[in-house]
Amino acid sequence: MNRARQIQNLALIGFMGTGKSSVGQMVAASLHFTFLDTDHDIEVRAKKSIPDIFAQDGELAFREWERRIVQELTQRKKTVISTGGGLPADETNLASLKAHAFVVCLWASPEKILERVRYQTHRPLLYDPNPLAKIRRLLAAREPFYRQADVLLNTEMRSVREVAQQVIHQFKLAQGGG
Ligand code: S3P
């Protein structure tokens, strides 16, 4: 399977607040891979923050940035890619990631996600009078995509370090190592 897919990279997908960036940085350091965060990449290229992109250009413009970045990722090697929560909720983006990366989905319940993102202000999709309902709705819509990951990891009872260790373990297993 891996040979057909040409696994060169490791991609972390999953909802906002599941720890993709923190886990990804730790995994990259441990594997001596480059770390790339799609949200950060978009902010650098667009020269504005994600809330500003959503407010000034709209969500569709943001999704267009994501599609562009995903296409460029096919050239990467030895990179841990942390993706925005909505990026894999698009068949083309997901298929593209899976062609070159081992894909791990970090999971948490809506309640846990709310607990983690509650006091953060950089996620425009959660500027909502009822953020828990919004999280539930988005998570339900995205679940079929998240479930297509090679591995689904529950992050709820685990520290960032423990999740990172699990990700590395699964990645090595998939490559035929131990
Ligand atoms: C989004 C998640 C965010 C960011 C943007 C949209 C989403 O990334 O890409 O605010 O659609 O779930 P994180 O998952 O890193 O918070």
User: Can you give the pLDDT at residue 108?
Assistant: 97
Q: What is the pLDDT of residue 139?
A: 97
Task: For residue 11, name the pLDDT band (cuts at 50, 70, 90).
Answer: very high
CA 55 to centroid of ligand 1, rounded, Å = 14
Distance in angstroms (rounded) separating the CA atoms of residues 94 and 97: 5
Exposed/middle/buried for residue 15 (C-beta within 10 Å: 0-12, 13-18, 19+): buried
- CA atoms of 153 and 156, how far apart (whole Å): 9
* Mean per-residue pLDDT, 117-141: 91
**Residue 142 CA to ligand 1 centre (angstroms):** 12
Residues 29-81 pLDDT 10s: 999 999 999 999 999 999 999 999 999 999 999 999 999 999 999 999 999 99
| Atom from ligand 1 closest to the CA of residue 20 | 15
Distance 12 CA to ligand 1 centre (A): 13
Instruction: Indicate which atom in ligand 1 lies nearest the CA of residue 39.
Output: 9
